[in-house]
């Protein structure tokens, strides 16, 4: 097992992780930013206001992007399984 293989494998793992987590985290961040601006403008400083919309958007994003996320993870797992001889040998 060469260093190039290990670096490429690690790079692919990090890219897959970022690609899969980006839709949910990105939408949650945008909703949190919008709610923070709303709270600043209206001077309502209740911390629980941010949780319900973020949870709703997170579940909505998982519903919309869930199958795509699973297919990306399955593709990565397929590559890992196919490269077991390279890892072990």
* 45 Cβ contact list (under 8 Å, min separation 6): 39
Give the helix/strand (H/E) hosting 1.
Answer: none
Each of the 89 residues of the chain gets a pLDDT tens digit; together they read 788 888 988 999 999 999 999 999 999 999 999 998 998 898 887 878 888 899 999 999 999 999 999 999 999 999 999 988 877 76
For 17, the 3-state DSSP assignment is helix
Q: For residue range 30-53, list pLDDT tens digits in order.
A: 999 999 899 889 888 787 888 889
pTM across the whole model: 0.78
Secondary structure (3-state) at 70: helix
Which residues, including other chains, have CB under 8 Å from residue 27's CB and lie 6 or more apart? Answer: 57, 58, 60, 61
């Amino acid at each position: 097992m060469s260093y190039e293989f290990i670096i490429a494998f690690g790079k692919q793992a990090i890219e897959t992780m970022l690609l899969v987590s980006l839709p949910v985290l990105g939408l949650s961040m945008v909703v949190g930013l919008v709610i923070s601006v709303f709270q600043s403008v209206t001077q309502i400083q209740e911390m629980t206001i941010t949780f319900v919309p973020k949870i709703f958007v997170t579940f909505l994003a998982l519903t919309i992007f869930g199958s795509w996320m699973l297919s990306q993870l399955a593709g990565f797992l397929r590559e890992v399984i196919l490269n077991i001889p390279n890892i072990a040998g």
